Structure 1
Amino acid sequence: MKTLDLSTTQVYPAFVFGTLTYVLIVLFNLLVIVTIAVSKKLHKPMFILLFSLPVSDIIGATAFFPQFLLSIVLKTRLVSYPACVMQAFLIHLYGSANLLTLTAMAYDRFVAICVPLRYNSIMNSHKLITMIFLIWFIDLSFMLILFILFVRFKICRKNIVDLFCNNPSLLKLVCEDTSINNLYGIALIIVFQGGTMLIILYTYAQILRTCIMTNQTDARRKAIQTCGTHLVVFLFLQINTMFTFISHRLQSTSPFLRRTFGVSVLIFPPILNPIIYGLKTNELKQNIIIFLKRNVGSTK
């Protein structure tokens, strides 16, 4: 693999920045996980679904940052083949888990806003457990098949074109026919990117329609604010991920842009998700403050 294009003076700032970013991602997301777990008031469908988001964010960050920080210190992107495949698997697992979780959360908001009187019967504990199980079962199943299809090949090259290992960059190491892998990859893009986008567009169109029709200004404002934030997070993940995948299939795309968009998917959602949902969701924000006062304050 190629060396990192970092001068001696850039190594230390890059390492400090990367370490701080990773530590903040883990701390912020763990805070959300622990707060939801210990606060009985948050044992509601929306927050139980939200629980999966910081879990997948930590998986994605942990797959990327330790290896990246090691590369900074060693000034090389050298990584073993098994470690590269594992990193790629975890990163893809993270991305698709985020898409599925955000889609499930959109459905929860759709039920809460559009059919509030039936919310408790629709979003019951059985359906909630089923949704969470399906998110991770579908994610694990599809990603395992993706990488089982890859590991049957023998690689003939050694240079990963991105700053981290992923399926498109791994396939570029193979000199055999990868048409089956390419077709399966396209099918995954259609299912995960296209399928989740269709569900999101439908649910938010219905939510917007309900908000326009309602006469309760305050309820309408809160609904639009919550859904607007959720939509921004989803679209950021969708657009950046889609650009990264498509850029691997277009030779004219700038490698710098491809790497920038790819790395942004692993940095911004994991660090912004807990901040956005922690600050914008009043109930979660209040319980985080209570949790911090109770545990951090008591140690002083």
Structure 2
Amino acid sequence: MSSSFFPIKLNRMVRNTTVASNILRIQGFDISPEFTYPVFFLLLFVYSSLLFSNIGVLALIISEKSLHQPMYLLFCNLPINDLIGNTVMLPQVMAHVISTERFMTYNQCVVQAFYSHTFGSASHMILVIMAIDRYVAICHPLRYHSTMTTRAVIVLSASAWGMSLVLVTVLMGLTVRLSRCRSVIQNAYCDNASLFKLSCEDVSINNIYGLFFTVLLFSCSIGGIAFTYFRIALICWIKKSKELNNRALQTCASHLVLYLIMLWSGFLTIILHRVPNYPDLRKIAYILFLVVPANLNPIIYAMQTRLLRDKIIQIIRRKVIAT
């Protein structure tokens, strides 16, 4: 009797200790020692470049009164979101690349996962409200200034962030309620799926809501973009105006390119999360989802938008003349 009692008691103590532990080990990337610092400096360069480009465009729009227009003010949401999302993720990933001690507290992991999912969902919703602005500008130009007021810009921006925060808050709320029987994050960063996989409880409701979250987000995103661009294309086809076609192409091309880059990098991440055979590829895909749009957004938008491009060229010329 005593020989069976002590192992059971010991097992319970070990299990309770594991559950009670607030420290999580992050699996991270399996990188050969000779590639550790090259990967670190590559990530550092990518992070520095996205900081420079996004802060630069954001500062330009804020400082130049001629750019205080709904299109550019709505675009400000995108670099803000990119800066927050990448700052929450990349410094920690870089630290774990050069360190063998890859640990985080559970609360830190939850915060990182919260911002990670908010970044992803907000990216979709911001591009939807930008598409609404382009739709009003092209399809209802005479009513544009009376429709896209400062109040409208604030309401659209608040709606994009509000919907994202509500969806992600419920998503993370369903996860933090779970008890934990594991302490290893099978990823290079913290996300919702990695967190609820720490539990030995039934996570069916997490999977169901996660599916609902994804379907709702992509339905709103793809549906909103498709509707606005269909109406824009229809107006251009009906009016057969070369000036209108050029205007639509100039203002919509950059927005559409940004959306397609974000959409496909996001799709790749979601698909690979369902394929456990390629864990490293999944980790890389999410890093690309973070850094690729964040680096390309300001460049593409600036080069394809005439007024913003002209302002950047003016600043560069001033700098060249001054030197």
Answer whether TM exceeds 0.5 for this pair: yes
Residue 161 (structure 1) aligned with residue 186 (structure 2): yes
2:307 to 278, 283, 287: 283
What SS does structure 1 have at the residue aligned with 2:29? coil
> Residue in 1 aligned with 2:195?
170
Check whether the contact 2:29–2:280 (CA below 8 A) recurs between aligned residues: no
Deviation, structure 1 residue 297 = 6.4
Query: Unaligned 5+ residue runs, structure 1?
Result: none
2:226 to 169, 177, 201: 201
1:154-213 Cα deviation digits (max 9, x unpaired): 222233233221111222111112222222222211221111110111111111122223
Check whether the contact 1:4–1:75 (CA below 8 A) recurs between aligned residues: no
Greater CA deviation, 284-293 or 46-55? 284-293
Residue 144 (structure 1) aligned with residue 169 (structure 2): yes
Distance 1:291 1:13 in 2: 34
1:18 to 40, 43, 55: 43
The amino acid across from 1:64 in the alignment is: M
Deviation, structure 1 residue 144 = 1.9
> Residue in 2 aligned with 1:60?
85
> Residue in 1 aligned with 2:290?
266
What SS does structure 1 have at the residue aligned with 2:103? coil
The RMSD of aligned alpha carbons is 2.1
How many residues align? The count is 298
Distance 1:122 1:25 in 2: 33
> Percent identity between the aligned chains?
36
Check whether the contact 1:149–1:181 (CA below 8 A) recurs between aligned residues: yes
Distance 1:139 1:153 in 2: 22
Deviation, structure 1 residue 75 = 3.9
Distance 1:63 1:299 in 2: 37
Distance 2:101 2:219 in 1: 36
The amino acid across from 1:188 in the alignment is: F
The amino acid across from 1:170 in the alignment is: L
Q: Note closer, same or farther for the CA distance 1:15–1:248 as it changes in structure 2 (3 Å cut).
A: closer
Question: What TM-score do you get using the length of structure 1 for normalisation?
Answer: 0.91
Deviation, structure 1 residue 2 = 3.0
Query: Unaligned 5+ residue runs, structure 2?
Result: 1-25
Alignment of 1:217-296 (within 5 A): 217-251=242-276, 254-291=278-315
Deviation, structure 1 residue 130 = 0.9
> Residue in 2 aligned with 1:107?
132
Alignment of 1:114-133 (within 5 A): 114-133=139-158
